[in-house]
């Protein structure tokens, strides 16, 4: 099985690769369009600024590649946000897979949200054998409201999407690669889709 991790200027690519290696899965870290398009599964991670990331994706034409993908795709953290229509971070038009806006947490809470949070209302095979109220590790200042694509939710300032799915596109706001055994199980479930 060929697993491609999309390489672009938004961190955490190596930590995702290490998490896969711990599972015995060898992935290719690549910005090559053909390699991404021909992979059996694609992981689209991200940590950083939406505006800079989208500019880089557009410059490398990876924005068009990601929109064409037919195989299972997993967006992680910023990767999830970039799969939406628009981000308030830097007033950024994004990829438009999920017809949602990415919003900044209110000034009533500390941002970024950093730490462990429970996820609930788990849906789809991505969460097979994962219990309600399982803890995942989050680091982010922006979020996507609960919506028709939500397959897991969590709460920080408001109830929001911890994970979403539309067709072959899955996305998680938390970092499975930093969420211990439960996060590892999410990655395993994705690989087995």
Q: CA 136 to CA 97: how far, in whole Å?
A: 24
**Alpha carbon distance 118, 51 (integer Å):** 29
For residue 95, what are its two tokens?
Answer: 């990829």
Point out the residues that are catalytic. Answer: 77, 175, 177
Long-range residue pairs from 180-183, CB within 8 A, at least 24 positions apart, any chain: 180/137, 182/130, 182/134, 182/135, 182/136, 183/19, 183/136, 183/137
Two tokens, residue 136? 């995942």
């Amino acid at each position: 099985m060929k697993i491609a991790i999309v390489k672009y200027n938004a961190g955490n690519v190596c930590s995702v690769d290490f998490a896969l290696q711990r599972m015995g899965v060898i992935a290719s870290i690549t910005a090559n369009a053909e390699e991404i398009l021909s992979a059996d599964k694609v992981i689209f991670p991200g940590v950083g600024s939406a505006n800079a990331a989208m500019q880089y994706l557009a410059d490398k034409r990876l924005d068009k590649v990601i929109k064409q993908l037919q195989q299972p795709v997993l967006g992680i953290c910023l990767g999830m946000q970039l799969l939406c229509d628009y981000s308030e971070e830097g007033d950024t038009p994004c990829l438009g897979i999920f017809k949602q806006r990415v919003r900044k947490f209110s000034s009533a809470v500390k941002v970024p949200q950093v730490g462990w949070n429970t996820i609930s209302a788990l849906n789809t095979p991505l969460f097979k054998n994962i219990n309600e109220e399982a803890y995942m590790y989050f680091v982010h200042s922006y979020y996507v409201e609960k919506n028709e694509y939500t397959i897991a939710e969590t709460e920080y300032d408001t109830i929001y999407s911890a994970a979403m799915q539309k067709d072959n596109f899955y996305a998680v706001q938390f970092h499975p690669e930093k969420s211990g055994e439960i996060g590892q199980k999410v990655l395993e479930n994705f690989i087995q889709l």
